Every structure is written in structure tokens, then in C-alpha cells.
Structure 1
Amino acid sequence: MIDRPQYLRRLDAWKDRDVVKVITGVRRCGKSTLMLLWKQRLIERYGVAPESIVHINLELLDNEPFLEYHRLYEEILRRCAAGEGRRYVLIDEIQNVPDFQKTLDSLQARGGIDLYVTGSNATLLSGTLATLISGRFVEISMTPLSFAEYWSARAHEGMTMQRAWSEYLHDGALPATVGFAGDETMLHDYLDGILNTVLFKDVAARLNISNIAALETVTRYLFDNVGNLVNPKAIADAMTSMGTKISSPTVSNYLEGLAAAFIFYPVRRYDVKGKRALRLERKYYAVDLGMRRMLCSNRVRDTGRLLENVVFLELMRREGDVFVGQGAGGEIDFVTNGTDGPRYYQVSESVHDPNTLERELSSLRAVRDNYPKTLITLDDERPVSHEGIRQVYALDWLLGEGEERKA
């Protein structure tokens, strides 16, 4: 199993607190593995007796009888009956159980139970839980492997960090793809299977979409336009011009479904001067670049945009909400707004050209405050300061600031 230390630390922080821990993310991003790692951690680090842990994976056929909320509740209570003390209940893919919130609410009300659940549909999970147990759950959003996790899993193979980076962009970051390195057929079949499952089961089935071809076209359009500002009308117009007539409301419905299934993350624009989010166009970033390459038939290899997508996912892991900045000097690739105030980021494949460097710096210079501003590039150089704007090498930054290279 590939270690996921960042998520384990978050579970450490919420352990034994009176909230349901809801781990969300796209299918096969590692949620079930995280549950196994957490179970192991409870036993080895915290000294929890194995019989005090109830772990039910609702994707297994063995557990099909528990896909009804009464039966699931009764089974958990039965397994909790043995022994004494606090119980730890781990449930994978809870959204497979209709009215699952009733089970969670009743277990939470009993006390003495620390609840952890995973799920693959944001709207179903957050909407249902928010209405029933408002204030009593915390969402831990999980993504495929970060580059640091990927490098940690592959560094022992003797490859250079630059080669690992190239394969990370090509193969994507779903944990299982680490085992397919170099086997294009297996990689394609695996990614194709996951994407089809998400589109057919997590999006089309839940939204009652019958026009699968149109849904796939919208998906391909978003993959093609990662990092570009888009809106439903522009997508509908582009599809209609290509012979697929579709309305803006239908496209909006598809976009919401794709975001709920964690295939894409919509990012709003942020007015840097007014310190507020704007309601207009959004950018969409892909959860996995391997899926993007496969659906786009290998024809989209814009390293700058791929880097931008990777940086977005990393900022989301580290800092939570991420926005696209709109300031007096133009667009800023990313703005985060944490408890310590905003941070500003520009991303560029290379700034060796003086004109490119000036263009990237100008947007940051136009922001008249003293909060951190960072330029992230693939230029393999030591960090340098441009009048307070810090330029860093992307791979060093992705491995963690201050971390030494291993190759």
C-alpha cells in the first residue's frame, strides 16, 4: 500500500471528536486504502484492540445484505457488542445505501462510537449529511497521489526525479497506475474502465442522463480546456457548431454532475482588490491527467497547462479553497485565502525568456499588499527573489518547501 501521510495526519487531528469523518474523492483515488491504513494506525499507534474496530466495505459482494440502512445499523451494533470501551466504525462507499444518513445519525446519537465513512459523490454526501446532522461532520477531500506521494512510491526504482515527473504527467496519479508503469495497454484499459464507470454510474445514472454521447463530449471539452475560463453557454455553442445540439441548462447539469463525481474541480474567479469571489466564468481542473490524456487521444500535451493543473491540486491539498485571481494587472493563476491571509501564485513552464518573466511578474507586482507571492516554474534553478516575489522550481515545491532532492 502506498502511504498517504497527509490524510492520516488529518484523521489523527479528528480522532475521537464527536463528528462523522467523511472522506470524499473520485473512484479509485485511494479512499479504501486510506481506511486500511487508518485501521492499521489505530492498532499500532493508538493501541486500539482489533475487535474494537468495525470495518465494512459496501463495494464487496459479501456485504450486499447491508445495503439497506436498517440492516447496516443492526450489523454494526452486533459487531460493536463484543468487548467494552470506545468503538471505531469504518464504512466504505456509504452512498450505496439509500437513506444512509439515518444509520449514521443513530450511531452518532448512541455515543461511544467514532465514525469514518468514504464516498464518491459530493452532492449526495454533503447535501444529505448537512441537512440531517448539520455541524456534526467534517469532510476530508481526497485526491489521487500528489507528486510527493508518487515519487515516494517510485524513488526506489532508481529513476531520476525528472523521469518520474514525466511518467506522472503521462500515466496520471491514481494509485493503481504505479503498478502499470510502462504497460500502455493495461494503463489504458484501467483508466478507461474507471472513466466509464464514473460517467455511466456516478453521473449519468444519478442524473438520469440518456444522451451519453453528449455527456462524453462535454467531458472531453473540459479536458481539452483545462485552465481556460468556460461557461455553459460557450460549451453549448461550441457543441452545437460541431453538430451536437445542446442547451446551456443541460450543459450546466452535466457540469454539476461531473464536479459531484470529482472528475473536475470548478474554480471561481476572485476579485483581488475587492477581496470577493466573482460569479462569472469558471475554470475547471481535472482530477487526473492520465484520464485526460486517454480521452483526448494523446493529442493534448501542453506541459504548461499540465503543470498548472498539478499546482492547483497541490494547493487544494495544502490550503483548501483555491481561486483564480483577477486584479488590476491582469489574471493571477491562483489565490488562496487562509487564516493567515491571501497567497498569490503564478505558474509558468519556463521564464527564461525575459518577456515571459516580466509578464508573469507584472500581475503579482500589481497586487499592492505584503502577502506572499510565488512564481512556480519548471526551470531547474535555486529559489530566487524578484523584489519580494519568490521564484521556485516546481518539483522542489511539490515535494515540500525545504525538502532535499532524493535524485
Structure 2
Amino acid sequence: MHALINRPVYMEQLISFREKQIIKVVTGIRRCGKSTLFDLYCEYLRKDGVGDDQIIRINLEDPDYFDIQDYMQLYNLVKDRLISDKMNYIFIDEVQTVPNFQKAVDGLFIKPNCDVYITGSNAYMLSGELATLLSGRYVEIKMLPLSFKEYISALEDDTDLQMKYQRYIQNGSFPYILQLSRRRDINAYLEGIYTSIVLKDIVARHRISDAGMLDSVIRFMFDNIGNLCSATNIANTMTSKGRKISAPTVENYLSALVDSFVLYKAGRYDVKGKQHLATGSKYYLSDIGLRYYLLGSKRADLGHILENVVYLELLRRGYEIYIGKVGSAEVDFIAIGDEGEEYYQVAYTVNDADGKTLARELAPLESIKDHNPKHLITMDFVPLTSHNGIKQINALEWLLH
């Protein structure tokens, strides 16, 4: 049994909602650690005096539960194990596999002494009927694969961070990857995740008939992380390369990839006009290892990969994130948090002899006239530097603190 990797950000959220009259819904891409989070949390509950008979765990991807075909079976299975005079902690993994599961969840939620926790690998579970039936009764905890800080915490030492960062992006950030050392084992594991997401969460759920075309769109998106994209320009580009596809089909595929937490979509925001823009979005990938698995390392754009890593880290830290338009220039990220807006520009390096790269990266930030914090994040190892109030920070230091 391998030691569980601590996931403090998510644990704190679960603990803060413990026994609150609300359903805890943990969502995220397959294999990002949702079940293991429940293991950690159950361990915490036991240390706090909760008995094993009070903890009900059901993983609907476990063959033991494959015969559960409808919500009443699920409801009765849990109901029969409830203890009347104690708090019951109910954990149901991959709940979306049971049709109308929301009726079972709601039925358990309204019973006395029931604290309900569920997971799902598809945003679809929080749309439509579920949202209506459970409206105002659930809180979503959005889970991602390991952050760089969590990844480092699971290793035996924290030396040579640059090499570890290379492994982190190349091998991926799914927790189980840390138990594998051979390249072919890592690739086989990533292939399994990729295939199950594509076949179970996308092709089957969205009734997609041309899986080959879907694969082409995925490869295109993985190759264009951090580039402005629209369904129309993706369709035009692919059609010009001999893969004829319509913009509405691309739109469907993109929304399926976002629903399965493979891609995250960042819209654009006009900093000066203070308004959301309808055109152009960027897409970021929930795990860079999937990109290396699918495309290999030859086409790796380290700048866009770093931008992707920073985007995910801002998501983990609870920000709402947009691409910033400043006149004709662009700021990589506007991050809106509890204390207002912050601006982030990301570049792999700004160390060139004539200073032109640094000037180019600073220009969009300098053109913003408000006094919100501004950051330039690079892989350059320089002491913390300020350029007229714009803080230049080393990416690895920023990720670890």
C-alpha cells in the first residue's frame, strides 16, 4: 500500500463543509484523485472518533456494484446500512453511472443524520435535472490532478526542481504516475486514461459517430494550448488540411472535452472597457502529460506549457480567470479573486542580451493604468525583481509557495 499523497486544498474544503446541510460534489477528470481524497477524508474522520460503521463507501466503478442499474437500488443499498442514532457519512464515487442518481442522492440528503459526498468525472452530472432537483443543496469542489507543490511533496527530496518540473510536465500529474518509473508503463497508463475518457465520457455520452474525427480535434487542441481559438477557425484549419468538419461539430466536441474536464476554457475580457468579449477563447489542458503522450515531445512549446501550468495553478487557488485584452495588446491572465483583480504575464524566459523580450512582455502590463497587482512569471532564476511595480517571479518558486 503506497502512502496517500496529501491534498490539503481539497481536504480543507471537505472539512469546512463537514456535517453542513449541503451535498458535497467533487468533480474532476478521471484518475485525478477523487476516490483517494475520500480515503484521506475517511482517515481524518476515523482519527476524529468516527466509527467504521458510520462510514458508507460505494464506488460505482467497482465490479461489486455493477448490478446497481437504477436509483432505487442505490438508495436502498445505502438506506439499509444507515445507523439511526449516529451521523452517517455517505461516499458515492462516479455517481453519474446510475440513471437518475440525483433522486437517490436527494432522498439520502433529506434523511436525518446523513452527510452526503459524491464524485463524478463529467460536468454533465451538474446540469439539467440534477441542477434543478438539487438546486441550492450542493457545493461543487473542483479537483485537478496534482499541483507541482503536491507532486514535490510526494517525492523523497526536493532538490533539482528544474529536472522535477520537466518530469512533472512530461510524465503528467495524475497521482498514480508517481508509482511508475518506466516510460512505457507511464505511456500505457496515460493511454488507458485517454481511451476511457474518449470512449466512456465523450463518444458514448455524446453519441459521437466519428471517433477518428474527434481524435483529430483533440490532437489539434492539444497542439494549440494557449492560442486563441474559435470553432470556426478550428474547422477551417482542419478542412484545409483535408479533414472536412463543420464548426457546429467542432463546437460539440469542444463542449464534450470541457464537460469531461480534459480542457478548460478561458474567455476574453476587455480590461479598459470592463466587459466580457464574445469572440475568441483559449483552451488549457488539465494534464500536460496527456499532451506528451499524444503528440510526443518534438512539438513541445515550453512557453505555452508553462502558461498552461500557471493557468491550472490559478484555478487551484480559487481565481476566476480570463484572457485580458488591453487595446491591441494582450495580458495572459486576469485573475479575479476575493481581493479583486490581479494580472499575470507568463514567458519561459525574458533573458536576452538586448532586453527586447522583457520589454515586449512588460508592455501590456504597463499599459494597464489601475493599481492592481501585476506579475511576470518566468523560468529565469533571478532574485525577486520589480519593474516599476511589476513583480518578476521565478515560476517554480511561485508554484511552490
- TM-score scaled to structure 1, two decimals? 0.95
Distance 2:392 2:158 in 1: 29
Count of residues in Structure 1 that have an aligned counterpart in Structure 2: 396
The one-letter code matched in structure 2 to 1:55 is R
CA contact (8 A) 2:225 2:282 kept: yes
SS, match of residue 282 in structure 2: strand
Structure 2 match to 1:6: 9
Structure 1 match to 2:184: 185
Q: Does 1:294 align with 2:293?
A: yes
Structure 1 match to 2:72: 70
CA contact (8 A) 1:218 1:251 kept: yes
CA contact (8 A) 1:329 1:362 kept: no
Distance 1:329 1:166 in 2: 34
1:128 deviates by: 3.6
Structure 2 match to 1:341: 340
1:33 to 15, 27, 36: 36
Identity fraction in percent: 44
Structure 1 match to 2:174: 174
2:56 to 42, 54, 57: 54
CA deviation string 1:235-279 (max 9, x = no partner): 111111121111100110000001101110011011112222211
The one-letter code matched in structure 2 to 1:391 is Q
1:219 deviates by: 0.2
Q: In the TM superposition, what are the counterparts of 1:365-404 in structure 2 within 5 Å?
A: 365-400=366-401
SS, match of residue 229 in structure 1: coil
Distance 2:273 2:136 in 1: 30
Distance 1:284 1:127 in 2: 24
Superposition RMSD in Å: 1.3
1:193 deviates by: 1.2
Distance 2:72 2:196 in 1: 28
1:19 to 17, 22, 42: 22
Q: Which has the higher helix share?
A: 1
Distance 1:20 1:276 in 2: 34
Structure 2 match to 1:195: 194
Distance 1:274 1:215 in 2: 37
Q: In the TM superposition, what are the counterparts of 1:214-293 in structure 2 within 5 Å?
A: 214-293=213-292
1:55 deviates by: 0.9
1:86 deviates by: 1.4
CA contact (8 A) 1:343 1:373 kept: yes
CA contact (8 A) 1:383 1:390 kept: yes
The one-letter code matched in structure 2 to 1:248 is A
CA deviation string 1:149-181 (max 9, x = no partner): 011111x15752121111011101011111123
Worse-matched range after superposition: 91-100 or 267-276: 267-276
CA deviation string 1:352-404 (max 9, x = no partner): 1211111111111111111111111101122111111111110010001xxxx
Worse-matched range after superposition: 216-225 or 8-17: 8-17
The one-letter code matched in structure 2 to 1:18 is Q
Q: Which runs of 4+ in 1 moved over 3 A?
A: none
Structure 2 match to 1:355: 356
CA contact (8 A) 1:227 1:309 kept: yes
Distance 2:399 2:338 in 1: 22
Distance 1:367 1:99 in 2: 49
SS, match of residue 277 in structure 1: strand
Distance 2:328 2:238 in 1: 33
CA contact (8 A) 1:119 1:125 kept: no
Distance 1:138 1:349 in 2: 36
Unaligned runs of 5+ in 2: none
CA deviation string 1:77-133 (max 9, x = no partner): 11113x622111111000011000001111112232111100000023344421111
The one-letter code matched in structure 2 to 1:76 is V
SS, match of residue 257 in structure 2: helix
- TM-score scaled to structure 2, two decimals? 0.96
Distance 1:373 1:226 in 2: 23
CA contact (8 A) 1:129 1:137 kept: no
The one-letter code matched in structure 2 to 1:30 is G
The one-letter code matched in structure 2 to 1:271 is D
The one-letter code matched in structure 1 to 2:16 is A
CA contact (8 A) 2:152 2:158 kept: no
The one-letter code matched in structure 2 to 1:293 is Y
Structure 2 match to 1:125: 126
Worse-matched range after superposition: 380-389 or 202-211: 380-389
Distance 1:274 1:48 in 2: 53
Q: Quickly say closer, same or farther: Cα 1:133–1:157, change in 2 above 3 A.
A: same
Distance 1:3 1:87 in 2: 24
SS, match of residue 332 in structure 2: strand
CA contact (8 A) 1:319 1:336 kept: no
The one-letter code matched in structure 1 to 2:12 is R
The one-letter code matched in structure 1 to 2:65 is N
Worse-matched range after superposition: 90-99 or 316-325: 316-325
Q: Does 1:330 align with 2:299?
A: no
